[in-house]
Structure 1
Amino acid sequence: MSGVEVALLHNRPFALLFAARAISVLGTGFARVAMAFAVLGLPGATATDLSLVLACQALPSLLFVLLGGVIADRTSRSRLMIFADVLGLLAYGAMAVLLLTGQASVPVLAALAVLAGLAVPLFLPALSGLVPELVPPGRLQQANAALQSAVSMSLLVGLGLSGVVVTLVGPGWALALNAVSFLVSAILVWAMRLPSQVRVTTNSGWADLREGWREFSSRQWLWAVVLQMTVTTAVIISVTGVLGPMAAENGLGGAAVWAVVIACQSAGVLVGSVYAKRLRPRRPLLVAVLLTLAYPVPVALLGVAAPVWLIVVSMFVCGLATSGFGVLWQTTMQREVPGEALSRVASYDLFGQLTLAPLALLFVGPMAQSFGHGAVLVCCAGLTVLATVGALFSPEVRRLSTAG
Structure 2
Amino acid sequence: MTNSPGVNSATAKRSRLPRWAGRNYVLLTAATVITNLGSHGALIAAAFAVMESGGSTGDVGLVAAARTVPLVLFLLIGGAVADRVPRHRVMVAANALNCVSQAVFAALVITDGATLWQMMLLSALGGTGQAFFSPASEGMLMSSVTGEQASRAFALYRMAMHGAGIGGAALGGAMVAALGPGWVLAIDAAAFALAGALRAFLDVRHIPAREPGAGLLADLRDGWQEVIGRPWLWSIVAQFSVVVAVIGVSEAVYGPLVARDELGGAAPWGFALGAFGVGTVLGALLMVRWKPRRLLYVGTLCVFVQALPAAALAVAAPLSVLVAVMLVSGVAIEVFGVSWITAMHQEVPEEKFSRVSAYDWFGSVGLVPVFTALAGPAEGAFGRSTALWGCAVLVVVVTTAVLFVPDVRRLTRREAPAVEPAEPPVADPVR
Report if TM-score (shorter chain) is over 0.5: yes
Letter in 2 for 1:124: S
Cα deviation per residue 1:235-264 (whole Å; 9 max; x = unaligned)? 223344444444455564555544433222
SS in 1 for 2:200: helix
> Equivalences for 1:67-216 in 2 at 5 Å?
67-195=77-205, 199-216=210-227
Distance (Å, rounded) in 1 between the aligned partners of 2:192 and 2:384: 33
- Structure 2 CA distance for partners of 1:360 and 1:36, relative to 1, 3 Å: farther
**TM alignment of 1:362-377, pairs within 5 A:** 362-364=373-375, 376-377=387-388
Which region of structure 1 is more displaced relative to structure 2, 123-132 or 236-245? Answer: 236-245
If the length of structure 1 is used for normalisation, what is the TM-score? 0.88
Amino acid at match of 2:343: T
User: In 2 relative to 1, CA 85–30 (structure 1 residues): closer, same or farther, beyond 3 Å?
Assistant: same
- Contact map agreement 1:69 1:126 (CA 8 A) in 2: yes
Which of 1 and 2 has greater Rg?
2
1:28 partnered with 2:39: yes
Amino acid at match of 2:104: A
Q: How does 1:56-67 map to 2 (within 5 A)?
A: 56-67=66-77
Q: TM-score, normalised by structure 2?
A: 0.83
In 2, are the aligned partners of 1:155 and 1:263 still within 8 Å (CA)? no
1:93-138 per-residue CA deviation (whole Å, 9 max, x = no partner) reads 3333333333444433222221111122211211222123322232
Cα deviation code 1:129-158 (max 9, x no counterpart):
212332223221122111101111101211
Q: How does 1:1-400 map to 2 (within 5 A)?
A: 6-7=17-18, 11-39=22-50, 43=54, 45-46=56-57, 48-195=58-205, 199-248=210-259, 252=263, 256-364=267-375, 376-400=387-411
- Distance in 2, matches of 1:175 and 1:240, equals 24
Q: Distance in 1 between matches of 2:265 and 2:252?
A: 14
Shift of 1:359: 2.2
Shifted more, 114-123 versus 74-83: the winner is 114-123
**Bigger mean CA deviation after superposition, 65-74 or 291-300:** 291-300
Going from structure 1 to structure 2, the CA distance change for 1:378 and 1:396 (only over 3 Å counts) comes to same
Which 10-residue stretch deviates more, 53-62 or 219-228? 53-62
Q: Please give the secondary structure, in 1, of the residue aligned with 2:212.
A: coil
**Maintained 8 Å contact 1:62/1:355:** yes
- CA-to-partner distance for each residue in 1:270-316, whole Å, 9 max, x for gaps? 11111113332232111111111121212332344332232222111
Aligned residues: 401
Distance of 1:143 and 1:196 partners within structure 2: 18
Preserved CA contact (<8 Å) 2:155 2:338: yes
Give the aligned CA root-mean-square deviation in angstroms. 2.9
Q: Which moved more, 1:141-150 or 1:237-246?
A: 237-246
More displaced stretch, 35-44 vs 223-232: 35-44
Question: 2:197 is matched by which residue type in structure 1?
Answer: I
Q: Could you list the per-position Cα deviations for residues 14-33 of structure 1 after superposition, in whole angstroms to 9, with x for gaps in the alignment? A: 11111001111112321344
Deviations 1:55-78 (A, max 9, x none): 221121221111111111111101
> Structure 2 vs 1, CA of residues 4 and 151 (structure 1 numbering), >3 Å: closer, same or farther?
farther
Distance 2:413 2:116 in 1: 49
Give 2:421's aligned residue.
none
Alpha-carbon offset, residue 343 of structure 1: 1.1
- Matched AA of 2:144: L
Q: Which runs of 5+ in 2 are unaligned?
A: 1-13, 416-431
How far apart are the structure 1 equivalents of 2:101 and 2:378? 29
State the distance in 1 between where 2:185 and 2:255 align: 19
Aligned with 1:280: secondary structure?
A: coil
CA distance change for structure 1 residues 54 and 8 in 2, over 3 Å: closer, same or farther?
A: farther
